[in-house]
Amino acid sequence: MPKSITASRQVEARTDWTEVIAKALTYLVVSSPGLKDKKVTEKAAFLMGLGLARKDAAAVLGSTDDSLRVNLPKKTPRRTKSATRTRQKR
């Protein structure tokens, strides 16, 4: 067998094990007693806070990306105290 064919098969056979390990660890974290009783949106927010993409968090939780997109609360910018005060008349 020519070397070029075997080399291409070796490249195809490689698996990114870091991604597999990361997803397995996220599943274990979500299944832990501390998060087991939480809502799916709270779990998704936790996983996304760890750096997981929303699509991957949905896959780990057995949900869909669209469902999390709709159900996760949108972050609104907080106003500072000075921005909410009215100007005083002089």
pLDDT in tens for each of the 90 residues of the chain? 555 556 555 556 677 888 888 888 888 888 888 888 888 899 899 888 888 889 988 988 899 999 999 998 876 556 666 555 666 665
The predicted model scores a pTM of 0.58
Rounded to whole angstroms, how far apart are CA atoms 20 and 77? Answer: 35
Other beta carbons less than 10 A from residue 85's beta carbon: 9
Amino acid 37: pLDDT: 86
